[in-house]
Amino acid sequence: MTRLTLAALYKVARTASGTPTATLTIATRAETDDRYAAWSSGCLQLPHDLVEELAFPPDGSYTITSKGALSPTEIRGFRAPVVVTSMLPLLDADDRAPVEQTGWLNEEGILLRRYLRPDGRPPIAVSDDHWQAWAKHLEQPAWHTPSRGGLILWAPDERARATALLGTIHPRFTPDLPEWTADL
């Protein structure tokens, strides 16, 4: 599951929003009543006690303060129904391979890419800010699936429903990697 607290949710939302105003979209998976915080870059399952602390907000888009106050907002093109129909089903993606974090980073302007090594697959890149924000609060192993161009999922094993996902950076936007060495 996650170690997600209110303060952590705010930090993840601020990172994922990419602006000083932290935003998120809350969506419910109908089959399980699990609640998720989502952004265009990925989503995280909200622990029940955190949903309770947020006062059980209805599905929708919000700004969030560091104290957890939610205010309805509009996130163009990204609403709860989109999360439910397009993003949450990806938590069940299969064809997973375990992922290792490497020490290889690529900086281009303000974008810092972290390279990951899926077992038996070519290396993949993610936004390092997003990787750090997600991985810090997730207790399960990370997995790579090629679904939708590539996703990182956090799940207890390769068949279980994931509790979080993070999109990868398309290979055409990443530089060629040096030969892998044991120290990466």
pLDDT in tens, 133-171: 999 999 899 999 987 778 999 999 999 999 999 998 766
- DSSP code of 169? B
Which tokens belong to 155? 């799940």
The sign one gets for the Cα dihedral 136, 140, 141, 142 is negative
| pLDDT tens profile 14-44 | 999 988 899 999 999 999 999 999 999 999 9
| pLDDT tens profile 65-90 | 999 999 999 988 889 999 999 999 99
So what's the pLDDT on residue 182?
Answer: 44
Cα pseudo-dihedral 71, 5, 124, 86, rounded to 10: -40
**How many whole angstroms separate alpha carbon 79 and alpha carbon 132?**
25
The pTM for the full model equals: 0.89
